[in-house]
Structure 1
Amino acid sequence: MNSYSEMVSMTESKNESLPFVVRLDRFDVVNNPGTTAASDYITRFSIIDGNAVIKAQVSMNKIFVYCGVRFYQASYDSDNLGSILSVSSDRWGIPVTYTGYALLFFSLFCLLIDSKGTFRHCLRQLSHLDDADNKLEKGASKRSRKTVLVRIILFLLILIPSSSRAQTTVPRETADRFGKLLMEYNDRICPVETYALDFVQKIYGSRSYGDYTAEQVLLGWTLFPEDWSGEPFIRIKSSEMRQQLGIGKYASVNAFFRDGEYILGQPAYDYAQGTNKDAFHKACADIDGKLQMMMTLRQGTPFTLYPYTFPHQRTLWFSPFERFPKEMPKEDADYIGRSFASLFVAARRGDFETANSILDTIAEYQQHNGGNSLPSKGKLTAEKIYNYLPYTTILFIFNLILGLVTLVCMTLRFAKATRPLHILLSLSLLLLTFVLALRWIISGTIPLGNGYETTLAVAWMAQLFVLVFASVHSARHANASNLIQLMCAFGFLISGFFLLVSNISLMDPAIGPLMPVLNSPLLSIHVSFMMMSYAFLAITFFCGLAALVHPRMAGTLQVVSRVFLYPAIVTLGIGIFLGAIWANVSWGSYWSWDPKETWALITFMLYAIALHTQSLPWLSRPRAYHIYMVLCFLSILMTYFGVNYLLSGMHSYA
């Protein structure tokens, strides 16, 4: 592709000739440092308009405009010798559309600031609510409190997995040295410790195996596979698979080989070919993928430990068992192959002093040859702290238990304890803030780039909004402890639920670089507004559930729910249309009827219905209102989870 002579209108199915010629000068794929993962696509081209030659450049989210024609980076040829640009011309449509968006944003904000509006009326109504009928009895017997505490402890003990012990691995000191080395993983340079934790978590479902750390487990499978193949290390989640194959909850590699036959071969093949997509075949394909991951350790291919910086300053990381480029000096290639082989031999014969020395030389090699691909000390420290504990797992257990205990205490009329709940919820918020800050430091981008991070964001915002509401309401109404206690319970349960979801297998917690299309300042603004709306709407959902369980509080909870509904509608509307602006900036199209976009619009319209109590009098009745709000939350689940995992589209990454 060297030139374009036609332009397709974005609104009509007709072709129009461009009044100038476009010539491609150069196309480049820019990779993240030390990896082959693209961070941007850049097209440099010339516009030839008569005798004038105008130099231009476009990349992802950065357009070029000439004579009202907007150029966008759309795609490129597989040989990297051609670039595909999309073009649009809409001189009058863009200002008219953006003016409409501005009026929409203003009208949405008016819902919150209009002194005669329903939202302000709900705030005044909430401030005059009499919660005398909802007062709780003070005090509780020590025996009852001890019973609750004992049950919590027993629950926590159940969560601790049973341990088993493999036969052979390396000492903790050697494993720790290995874990501090750097490697290319998930399209970024990170400590081997991160890869080891992900490996053990994916296969075994925990961060360690018996008394062994993740690094010891990783080296055990790499150096002593014959000893580890008999260990019940592979977690089998599918009960159907366990029943049909006659295996337990944890199986060894050897369990999948019977009479010289690989028992997962045919089911995994059938699933890959699409001939059978049932739960059993899906589970077999999943375990087959994990077994293949384990087999690659024997070959050493995952260990991209050796960087080499080319003369043009581009750094790539290599494993010891791949073909090296011709530009690499022979002494470097020889060292890479020799050092890992020497490490293998030393560890196998139990000479861990020599093994430690080899690991130290590899670390020196990395520092000397890593170039600009090496992470800063600040990033490495943040990642070390991030890897130290399973923070989100601790938080979801803590928050769910606290939320349930708070509800039980309210039901059993235990003593009110709003201040301790404030403190505990604040501590939970601070810890989650700390986790998000660590991810931000490690990745270098705001943690809103995938489903895992946005789930954490919803949990964070829900806690923040509940704390603000509880703090403001307690300052104005000293006798409103019942409502405040309930709101704190909501904060714990909502955040605990979303943190629990972030820990399920569908969510990948691995930290990686942003896709090029997401590398835009509008990402954080658009996603933040969407996540705020989801957090607000989650609170209305829990208000509905609580009202259906405790009808006496239905009237009060309806007012509380409407107080959160209005900012939810405002943030959801702004988030949707900010996304449309971003789409126009990136692709020249405001709306593509992508499943995520469509379901977000459906959600917006469903919840907007609840604002029209005068047109729909039945929504004024507390019970009907709460039932409607509970049912509406199904659209949130579809928008956030269903679209991501059941449908495919531009937003499937989210």
Structure 2
Amino acid sequence: MLVYAIAIGWATFIEKDFGTLVANDVIYHSWWFEFLNVWLLINILGCMYKSAKINLKVNVQIFHIALVIIIIGAGITRYFGFEGRMVLADGETSSFIASNDSFLNVLVSNDVGDDGTQSDIIPLESFKKGYDIMLSPYVRFSSFDLDTKEVFDKKLRIKSINVINYSLASLFSEAAKEKKEVSDQEIKEKQKENHYVAKFEVEYDGITKEMFLSNRGEIRSERFGNRYVTLSWGPKSILLPFSLKLEKFEVLTYPGSLLESSFASYVEVIDPEHTNYKYKIFMNNVLDYRGYRFFQSEYNVERDENGEMKRDETGMPIYTGTILAVNNDPGKVPTYIGYTLMILGAIWLLFDNSSRFRKLSNCVKSQKIFSVLIPFTISFFAISVPHVGFAQDSIQLSSEESLVKNDMEKHLVLDSNNFFLALNESKKIESSSSQRKDEENISKQTDTEDSEEVKKRLEQFVAYNKSIEQKNQKLEPLINDMSKEAIQKRVDGLKKIPKKSLKIFAKLQIQGMEGRVKLFDTYSDEVMRKIVGKTHIYGLDHNQFLLGIMVMPKDMAKLRFIKVKDPEIRKLLGVLDKEYVSFEDLFYSDKLDDVYDFATYHDQRLMGRFLSAYKLYHFSNIARKKPEWERNEFDKEVLKLDEKMDMLLPYSIWDYMKIFPEVGDDNWKIMGNPHLSKDLFTKYFYLSFITESRMGINLHEWKDFDTAIDLLHRYQRNTAGKLLLDSTHVKSELLLNQLNIFPVVEYFYLCIGILLFFIALIAIIVNKKIPKWLGKGLYSILLIAFLGHTLGLILRWYIGGHAPWSNPYESMLYIAWASALSGIIILRKSYFAMCGASFLAGMALVVAHWGFMDPYIGNLQPVLHSYWLNIHVAVIVASYGFLGLSLMLGVTNLILFIFRKESRPQIDKSIVSLSAINEMSMIIGILMLIVGTFLGGVWANESWGRYWSWDSKETWSLVSVGVYACVLHVRLLRPLYLPYIFNVFAVLAFYSIIMTYFGVNYYLATGLHSYARGDVGGINAKIYLALILTFLLIFISFFKRKLMFNKDF
């Protein structure tokens, strides 16, 4: 099992460096790996037979026979099933599928394209990768020199000479011409392109020739006497006993975005032997017919001559057809039987009175002792706890404070109350006009009259109300004062916005670029986290911060709040000693006028002067031209700073804010640059909003600000339709944001864990019991924190509309929740286990808030709309909580080993008790991991037709299963000092879980489960630190390892 785990784990690193084709060839499809599967099967059967002779336990036998059936089912699929795909254009009918496997197709004919042919198909798999250009081909035959065949009464013999990686060869060839060095990263990227050229020696009719063949669908023909031999390397065509016709392909997107929510193929099944019928194939809804299964996989789009995707006027790709995955899998039934037996066996193992789990449980109950948990020495003081307090109130300005002329426009604008009346009337007219168009098909003349009426009403209100012009005159001298004191005063005024007004502002609704409608409160939090890295600065919260960017951009441009991690970038900006820089720090001080001119008017003629003012333009330009894989950390930080700069460019924030819904349109509109807006409502709303906001900030008059905000509220209610969030949703989202639940419960979890550690440590050293009132008090606090945690997950579920474990941040929240649950319900009678669960839950939340996980609530990809996903993720992620608790218990025991003395026998008893609980937690964890992994296989099979594809995530889940299976079975070897060995292995085994979660998602970054491309912040350093501390702890505890379990354990 350990060899098996090492082999498949190694394969994921091969896939990362050399591509899937090479990983399949070297590991997954190799003869020795197939032999390893058979050997594993034989070993399981042998162990079952041996254990049955000694002590027959039906539950154990059922669990292990399930593994046997699963392996057999996988073998049936591997050798007797096949996979392919069917490509259909709109209106096209086809009865052929193309195989996923590659084949060497050999055809001998009288002439090229002649029907009088004889052909053979030689199944080729892939090619082994060496560390040079030369590759060795691997075929399913015993020799690379294929047997001689009789074709048209003449002998045909084909021999493979070698295979080269064409992409890699081209890279070296071009480098040689240009006399430049080739980087290791370039080599790795080219290796993963899977573009190969094979060289064959073909002998026919006594004539021998060399033929070269590419795996990109190329066809080669050569004349041998009076015959032609044609070779092609690629998929073979498989004829179905029926046909499919694509009547329509449909793609649905989330409202207001190009993000796909679903895509479906409307097909007709045409079968001469049966009745034709129509069917809709979409993600998680497959077509089963005559042993074949059709899955919605991909689609085709129209492209231009450069290969770029063509789009229609709405920005959507132009879809030309569908791609259906097809399989015929005779191994599905036995595999599913194995899954079912495994789940039954797992449940039986936990509840059978004769099982190992129950024996351990009884052992723990019989030992009424207190232990210690939570190694506070391990990385606690190294973690970066997210800051939630207020930053300093005094502002930091950019080094150069130039007086920039205020560009406040002097336009007549109507009072907000009256403007709403005008708007309401116009909306009524527009709605009425639209309705009559649909129902009565009114004439263009009526539309013109309605437009004239709207215009007339607006002109009347604009003409009679001059209040905003007067307010602007009052504000002008205050706004034009750009001294540090004046800016500080305006920032202070921004902080004094009444809570009522701020709450009204926070309730405004905005449509994100991904299409989800959210509150301003949520959006402002996302913006501030992106730019500042935290939710408070200079005493401003996220809503005040966003309001400042919206209405006083030039003031905010002077404040240093843009977080820049890279010291080299800060050096280039001239602020090396500062963690934060200002918007103006990004530009040369003598060219700021060019920056503000471009920001105000967006005149492309000013673009050159704007770019020349940007200090990092040269570095940004270089970084953008590099391929993504070639960018270093400096390049990435420059590009991140580019994005922040673009958002903070005065008035540009409005380009990111889709706040104006339109009747009958799911795509909300942005204002864009308010100075250039031609839309009456957006322009006058902006002037009203900006004026009233500045009146509040400068003169503390916020009353009319509320009216201006209410104007937009009413506009959204009148036009947004079904997309507008209802009052319950608004209250829920505000509650989640305001409570800030997860950072709060994080501190509770950590504090309870650490406090229990010291209490338990003192109790065990002095051999005293923990007072019941104290234990119950801490348990109650933990329970309250857990309930708060649960409330937060429920709110995220309701707000997002899907289970809260669809991204890395949410999965860490769920791991923390499962860890806390294990301590509160399952292990509540053991203070040390409860303590470990609490600390582990806190640490999971610390990781969630480290900074590289985005807490936003987003929409799901089409394939994730499945109840199988909820079951799979819920089970497998919860297993991480129990295995993490096993880690904590293992670390605790190693610490206790260090404190062992003959005068402290209670420590030995505690180690024994903790080890029993450790094994119980590990049993629960591995059973959930196994069940969750294979339930994921069911989801995959029902969604895209393959329940196991050696994706890196599922591979490492299987690695973890193998590792923990070895740890649980090590006691059967009866080693000396088993308590020490078991706890060491329990600690080390958890690194397989770390690799499964973080390694696959962020380091390997391959397969369907990856979230990033290696951008994990400082996590690597923390992992190395944890490894050093782990081995240091193992080494120190080694000298007091001599402890054995009693015979009954």
Q: Are the equivalent residues in 2 in contact too, given 1:8–1:87 (CA < 8 A)?
A: no
Deviations 1:387-422 (A, max 9, x none): 113221112122212212221233344954211121
Deviations 1:277-306 (A, max 9, x none): 444443333333322232375351112111
Counterpart code for 1:249 = E
Alpha-carbon deviations, 1:63-104, whole Å to 9, x = none?
Answer: 122233222111123344333232434363322221122223
| Counterpart residue number, 1:400 | 750
Residues 296 and 60 (structure 1), Cα distance of their counterparts in 2 relative to 1, 3 Å cut? farther
Q: CA deviation at 1:203?
A: 1.9
- State how many pairs are aligned: 615
1:292-328: CA deviation from partner (whole Å, max 9, x where unpaired): 2323753511121111133xxx5221111299xxxxx
Of the candidates 1008, 1011, 1014, which is equivalent to residue 650 of structure 1? Answer: 1008
Q: How far off its partner does 1:434 sit?
A: 0.6
From 510, 520, 530, the equivalent of 1:192 is 520
Question: Which residue is equivalent to 2:278?
Answer: 55
Change (3 A) 1:586 1:188: same
Question: Bigger shift: 86-95 or 19-28?
Answer: 86-95
Aligned residue number for residue 502 of structure 1: 848
Query: Could you tell which deviates more after superposition, 20-29 or 421-430?
Result: 20-29
Tell me by how many angstroms 1:497 deviates. 0.4
1:189–1:357 Cα change, 3 Å:
same
User: Root-mean-square deviation (CA), in Å?
Assistant: 3.0
**Distance in structure 1 (CA, Å) of the matches to 2:387 and 2:880:** 33
Where do 5+ consecutive residues of structure 1 fail to align?
137-150, 324-330, 475-483
Structure 2 residue identity aligned to 1:359:
I
1:213 counterpart residue number: 541
CA drift at 1:195: 0.6
Aligned-pair CA distance for 1:243:
6.3
User: Are 2:251 and 1:29 equivalent residues in the alignment?
Assistant: yes
Match of 2:615 among 258, 263, 267: 263
- Equivalent pair of 2:525/2:543 in contact (CA under 8 Å): yes
**Structure 2 counterpart SS, 1:637:** helix
Deviations 1:183-225 (A, max 9, x none): 1024301111111111122222332333333222112112222
1:438-457: CA deviations, max 9, x gaps? 11111121112111111111
* Matched position secondary structure for 1:590: coil
Counterpart in 2 of 1:547? 893
Q: 2:352·2:358 contact (CA, 8 Å) conserved in 1?
A: yes
CA apart distance, 1:581: 0.8
1:398 counterpart letter in structure 2: F
One-letter amino acid matched to 1:204:
V
TM-score (ref. length: structure 2): 0.55
CA shift for structure 1 position 549: 0.8
Match runs of 1:345-494 below 5 Å: 345=691, 347=693, 354-413=704-763, 416=771, 417-471=774-828, 474=829, 484-494=830-840
Q: 3-state SS of the aligned residue for 2:247?
A: strand
The Cα of 1:157 is off from its aligned counterpart by 10
SS at match of 1:56: strand
The separation in 2 between residues aligned to 1:441 and 1:590, in whole angstroms, is 30
Q: Please state how far the C-alpha of 1:226 moved relative to its aligned partner.
A: 1.2
d(CA) in 2 for partners of 1:444, 1:70: 30
What is the distance in 2 between the residues matched to 1:87 and 1:461?
36
Q: Counterpart in 1 of 2:1018?
A: none
SS of equivalent residue, structure 2 residue 728 = helix
Q: Which amino acid aligns with 2:505?
A: F
Using the size of structure 1 for normalisation, the TM-score is 0.87
Distance 2:739 2:532 in 1: 17
Q: Residue 83 of structure 1 corresponds to which residue in structure 2?
A: 321
The answer (yes or no) to whether the contact 2:388–2:536 under 8 Å persists in 1 is: no
Q: Where do residues 20-419 of structure 1 align in structure 2 (5 Å cutoff)?
A: 20-50=242-272, 52-78=275-301, 79-90=317-328, 92-129=330-367, 131=369, 161-165=391-395, 167=488, 168=490, 171-172=497-498, 174-185=501-512, 186-238=514-566, 242=570, 246-258=576-588, 260=591, 261-272=613-624, 273-274=626-627, 277-295=631-649, 297-298=651-652, 300-310=654-664, 314-321=665-672, 333-345=679-691, 347=693, 354-413=704-763, 416=771, 417-419=774-776
**Alpha-carbon separation, structure 2, partners of 1:315 and 1:278:** 40
Note the alpha carbon deviations across 1:552-595, whole angstroms, 9 max, x for none. Answer: 33322211110111111111001010011111101111112111
**What code does the residue aligned with 1:649 have?**
G
Q: Name the CA shift for 1:349/1:120 in 2 (closer, same or farther; >3 Å).
A: closer
Cα distance in 1 for residues equivalent to 2:641 and 2:348: 54
Whether 1:5 aligns to 2:95 is yes
2:105 alignment partner in structure 1: none
Q: Which residue of 2 aligns with 1:144?
A: none
SS of the residue corresponding to residue 317 of structure 1 reads strand
1:6/1:16 contact within 8 Å kept: yes
- Residue identity opposite 1:652 in structure 2: S
SS of match in other structure, 1:648: coil
Distance 1:104 1:14 in 2: 37
Are 1:346 and 1:352, in contact at CA under 8 Å, matched by a contact in 2?
yes
Matching residue's letter, 1:540: S
Give the match for residue 946 of structure 2: 589
Could you tell me which residue of structure 1 aligns to residue 1021 of structure 2?
none
Q: How many Å separate the matches in 2 of 1:357 and 1:113?
A: 64
* TM-superposition CA deviations, 1:204-257 (whole Å, max 9, x none): 233233333322211211222211111121223445655676141222122222
- Does residue 1:535 correspond to 2:877, yes or no? no
Give the distance between the partners of 1:508 and 1:333, measured in 2 at CA: 35
Whole-Å separation in 2 of the counterparts to 1:91 and 1:422: 51
Contact preservation (8 Å) 2:367, 2:913: yes
Question: Which 10-residue stretch deviates more, 432-441 or 185-194?
Answer: 185-194
Q: Using the TM superposition, name which of 334-343 and 70-79 deviates more.
A: 334-343
Cα distance in 1, alignment partners of residues 279 and 387 from structure 2: 63
Q: Equivalents in 2 of 1:571, 1:579: separation in Å?
A: 12
CA distance in 2, matches of 1:637, 1:510: 23
Whole-angstrom distance in 1 between the partners of 2:711 and 2:678: 13
Q: What SS does structure 2 have at the residue aligned with 1:612?
A: helix
Change in CA separation of 1:404 and 1:619 when aligned onto 2, cut-off 3 Å: farther
Structure 1 residues 489 and 113: alpha-carbon distance in aligned structure 2, compared to 1, 3 A threshold: closer
Q: Which amino acid in structure 1 is aligned with residue 295 of structure 2?
A: Y
What's the CA shift for 1:263? 3.4
Which letter does structure 1 place at the counterpart of 2:506? G
One-letter code aligned to 2:749: N
- The one-character-per-residue Cα deviations of 1:453-476 (angstroms, maximum 9, x if unpaired) are 1111111111111112343xx3xx
- Supply the distance in 2 between the matched residues of 1:539 and 1:376 (Cα, whole angstroms): 41
SS in 2 for 1:305: strand
CA gap of 1:175–1:106, structure 2 versus 1, over 3 A, is closer
Question: Does 378-387 or 278-287 show the bigger shift?
Answer: 278-287
Contact 1:75–1:85 (CA under 8 A) maintained in structure 2: yes
Structure 1 residue identity aligned to 2:788 = L
